[in-house]
Amino acid sequence: MTKLKSAKDIPIGGIIPEPGNSRAYRTGEWRSQRPVWIPEGCVHCLMCWVYCPDNAIEVEDGKVKGIDYNHCKGCGICVRECPRKEKALRLEREA
């Protein structure tokens, strides 16, 4: 019977020192709707940032600063995940 390897014996996988991600490209130009951030209603819980699949919520010093529309695809997850009854984000039709 073979001995099970420990976590230290298994090679590290998935390290990508220079990922070929979409940050270098504008990927938000095809959306049909876009989230609009309402700063007055925001409590900076960062749930929108946590759930955004495109990393399009701009945060500085632990507070939401805006939305990166060059990468936002308008999925609306940020709006759905905002815990406020009076949402700090709303979806608008793209002009």
Question: What per-residue confidence (pLDDT) applies to 4?
Answer: 81
* Nearby residues of 86 by Cβ (< 8 Å), 6 or more positions away: 41
Print the domain residue range for 85: 26-93
As a whole number of angstroms, the distance between CA 84 and CA 79 comes to 10
User: Residue 21 falls within a domain, yes or no?
Assistant: no
Domains of the chain: total: 1
Q: Which residues of 24-58 are buried (b: 16+ CB within 10 A; e: fewer)?
A: eeebbeebebbbebeeeebeeeebbbeebebebbe
Give the global pTM: 0.73
Question: What per-residue confidence (pLDDT) applies to 67?
Answer: 97
CATH number for the domain including 56? 3.30.70.20
User: Residue 8 falls within a domain, yes or no?
Assistant: no
Q: What is the mean pLDDT of each run of 10 residues along the chain (95 residues)?
A: 78 70 74 95 96 95 96 95 94 89
User: Residue 7 falls within a domain, yes or no?
Assistant: no
What residue ranges in 5-70 does DSSP mark as E strands? Answer: 33-37, 57-60, 63-67
User: Residue 5 falls within a domain, yes or no?
Assistant: no
As a whole number of angstroms, the distance between CA 53 and CA 49 comes to 9
Report the amino acid identity of residue 84.
Answer: R
User: Residue 70 falls within a domain, yes or no?
Assistant: yes
Question: What per-residue confidence (pLDDT) applies to 22?
Answer: 62
Question: What per-residue confidence (pLDDT) applies to 78?
Answer: 97
Question: What per-residue confidence (pLDDT) applies to 16?
Answer: 67
User: Residue 72 falls within a domain, yes or no?
Assistant: yes
User: Residue 86 falls within a domain, yes or no?
Assistant: yes
User: Residue 3 falls within a domain, yes or no?
Assistant: no
